[in-house]
Amino acid sequence: MWIPTPFLLIDIEAKFTENIHMCFNGSVENRNMDYISGPILDGKCYEPGAAGNIPDFCDVGLKISGAIPIVRTAAIRFQDVLLSSIALASTEQHTVAFAGTSQGVIKKFQSKLRSSYILIRYDDDDDDFAS
């Protein structure tokens, strides 16, 4: 049975911090989300050395932006289907996910929490399940 690697909160926070560091030390030119960056440097990053030594990023707005993505293998894939939204609910040891497709179809998944998530049930009338 294949067990997907989850996005751990500590990994997500580390990637946000990496992106902020790269912006403040001048390694990247922009935060890659200028359309929501608003007045904070107009989404641009500092010139190398211009920001000085910053001990923490508590006052930095928009920690969600950055050019370097966090990457994991998909827990589930479909042939020729684009998942465009997802909603999750957890109850005790189970997590239920509803994923919407770009074609307006809702797919339901259920997983059981052990050391990581394992897909134990998948409901859908379509036969587009790939792995």
Summarize pLDDT for 18-64 with one digit per residue, the tens.
887 787 777 777 666 666 655 556 666 767 767 666 666 666 655 66
Integer angstrom CA distances of residue 127 from 66, 104, 121: 37, 16, 14
Residues in CB range of 107: below 8 A, 6 or more apart: 78, 83, 98, 99, 100, 101, 122, 123, 124
Q: Is residue 24 within 8 Å of residue 17, measured between CB atoms?
A: no
Instruction: Check whether 12 has a pLDDT greater than 70.
Output: yes
Instruction: Check whether 4 has a pLDDT greater than 50.
Output: yes
Q: Where are the domains of the chain?
A: 1-71, 83-123
> What one-letter code names the amino acid at 103?
Q
pLDDT 10s digits, 54-96: 666 666 655 666 778 888 777 677 788 888 888 888 877 777 8
- What pLDDT shows up at residue 58? 64
- What pLDDT shows up at residue 37? 55
- What pLDDT shows up at residue 115? 42
Look at 45 and 101; give whichever has higher pLDDT. 101
Per the prediction, the chain carries an average pLDDT of: 70
- What pLDDT shows up at residue 69? 81
